[in-house]
Amino acid sequence: MPTGLRHRVTTPGSNIRRTIHGAANLATGAWHYHVSIRNVSMVFCYFLNQLLAAHPDALIVAAIRGNGTTHHSGITRRRLAEHPRLLLIEPVRARRSTGLGPVLGRP
């Protein structure tokens, strides 16, 4: 065993999982985000309330939602029914593009 002064070697982090909800104001370029430990419906609804508070004069606050379970839960649906100014847009996703087969080299 070598003797002498031991140096402390820094190691990478502990890879703790975090959820980030984010939105951008396309007119001003301002970013709004919320970092949480767990992705639950109440945290998502809290973020939506932050968006409403950040834009009190807006007629509609629109956001694109993903396919997460918190975006479709009963708690989120009730919160959307309580706030008519809030609009969550579901992106259109094609299940299968049949017309692209010859272009991509597929039968």
User: Residue 4: its pLDDT value, please?
Assistant: 78
Q: Where are the alpha helices (DSSP H) in 9-99?
A: 41-54, 74-82
CA–CA separation, 99 and 39 (whole Å) = 37
The more confidently predicted of residues 103 and 30 is: 30
Residue type, 74: G
Cα 92 to the center of its chain, rounded Å = 17
**In terms of Cα–Cα distance, which of 24, 78, 86, 32 is closest to 61?**
86
pTM: 0.70
pLDDT of residue 99: 57
Supply the pLDDT for residue 101: 52
